[in-house]
A and B are shown apart, each in its own frame.
Chain A
Amino acid sequence: MEDPTLKPDVRPITPEDLAARKKRNLWLGLALAGFVILVMITTIVRLATGTGISGRM
């Protein structure tokens, strides 16, 4: 017998759902890009100042 709790959610996707998903994906993309930029900045600063490089403070 089929388990009713395993039935997939068949609610149709509304335009509002799609718009919200698009916006969410955009923010996720921006957050990811932001993270990459921040890592890049810390790397540049560490290389420029020598902080954290063996033998230098």
Chain B
Amino acid sequence: MTELTATTPAKRPATAADYVNLMKPRIMMLVVFTAVAGLAAASGITGVTMHPAMAAIAVLAVALGSGAAGAINMWYDADIDAIMSRTATRPIPSGAVPKEEALTMGLIMSGVSVMLMWLASNWLAAALLAMSIAYYGWFYTMVLKRRTAQNIVIGGAAGAFPPVIGWAAVTGNTPLDAWILFAIIFFWTPPHFWALSLLAHKEYAKVSVPMLPVTHGTKATRLQIILYTVVLVAVSLAPLATGLGGWIYGAVATLLGLVFLAFSVALLRSKAGDDGAPGADMKLARNTFLFSILYLFALFGAVLVEHAAGLHFPVIGA
């Protein structure tokens, strides 16, 4: 195990932005977006509607829950964040927010978010939200991340819960369609994150976090990226079979799925992440990472548009 060494940062007064950053706002955006898509799809498919104020509070609860998990993650990972250049400027390692304050904030926000979700919807959505916070804040952060190269695969489930929570908030149950949305995010997470880790694996090696490129090498990672992308593209077409996805969704999933596959094939043929890899190959890894974000937004955006704007025309069973 590598000795973790970091200099104690000079204390500086925290700003509002530091507390916002503690909640990992970029992850929160994706979480909220997929939860809203799940909520809209549940209403569109079942015809059950939710009071707009209650729906807004339920979405806020998901956002708070995501922020809470992010704060707990930053509290626990403060030691390694201080060493990695990508994360050294985060609120705790930069000396803006004391560690204990981040933990307190995370725990209080967890409780508030689950309570709000229960008040705005039902116990199932609240329980799923509590579970997803615990899954990310405890299971992924404290158990998986520093122990196994499968950390991203298993931990990816934490980020896959929001559409299921959104669905449960509307209907009080979680049918197959909700779990298909879960599966899309679950299989999307590994290729998304491993594309980034090809760029940053030396940083992870420095702090002994067993990300796949660190433990199995970059070639194995590029292979795993394409394998997971193939499964992801197949799973992304499942909504067409159940009627959850219509023509718009089908077109988006097919077209962007093919582009994602093309990125993965190019990545497999490249030397991205290797020592002395050409700049173009590293750029390809970065573009694959960025495209994966666009891919997920577009897929859930299509679900949202079809069900919230009344543009859902099923491919099967019309």
Name A residues whose Cβ lies closer than 8 Å to a Cβ of B: 16-17, 19-20, 23-24, 27, 35, 38-39, 41-43, 45-46, 49, 51
| Binding site secondary structure of chain A | helix
In angstroms, Cα B286 to Cα A38, docked, is: 41
> Which residue of the partner chain, among A17, A35, A41, A43, contacts B13 with CB atoms under 8 Å?
A17
Q: Are the CB atoms of B57 and A23 closer together than 8 Å? A: no
Q: Is B170 among interface residues, defined by CB-CB distance under 8 A?
A: no
B16 and A23 form a contact (CB under 8 A):
yes
Task: List 29 interface pairs A-B (beta carbons < 8 Å), by A numbering.
Answer: A17-B13, A19-B13, A20-B13, A20-B14, A20-B15, A23-B16, A24-B14, A27-B16, A27-B19, A35-B112, A35-B116, A38-B57, A38-B60, A38-B116, A38-B119, A39-B116, A41-B53, A42-B53, A42-B54, A42-B57, A42-B116, A42-B120, A43-B119, A45-B51, A45-B53, A45-B54, A49-B51, A51-B51, A51-B54
| Nearest B residue to A24, CB-CB | B14
Could you tell me the dominant secondary structure of chain B's interface residues? Answer: helix
How many angstroms between the C-alpha atoms of A51 and B57 in the bound complex? 15
Q: How large is the interface on B (under 10, 10 to 19, 20 to 34, 35 or more residues)?
A: 10 to 19
Instruction: Tell me the smallest distance from the CB of A5 to a CB of chain B, in Å.
Output: 14
Q: How far does the alpha carbon of A20 sit from the alpha carbon of B13 in the complex, in Å?
A: 6
> A32 to chain B: closest CB distance in Å?
10
By a CB distance below 8 angstroms, the chain B residues around A16 are: 13
A41 to B53 Cα, complex, angstroms: 8
What per-residue 1/0 map shows which CB atoms of B35-61 lie under 8 Å from chain A? 000000000000000010110010010
Establish whether residues A41 and B112, one from each chain, have CB atoms under 8 Å apart when the complex forms: no
B60 partner residues in chain A, CB cutoff 8 A:
38
12 new A-B pairs (CB below 8 Å) besides A39-B116, A49-B51, A51-B54? A19-B13, A20-B13, A20-B15, A24-B14, A27-B16, A27-B19, A38-B119, A41-B57, A42-B53, A42-B116, A43-B119, A45-B51
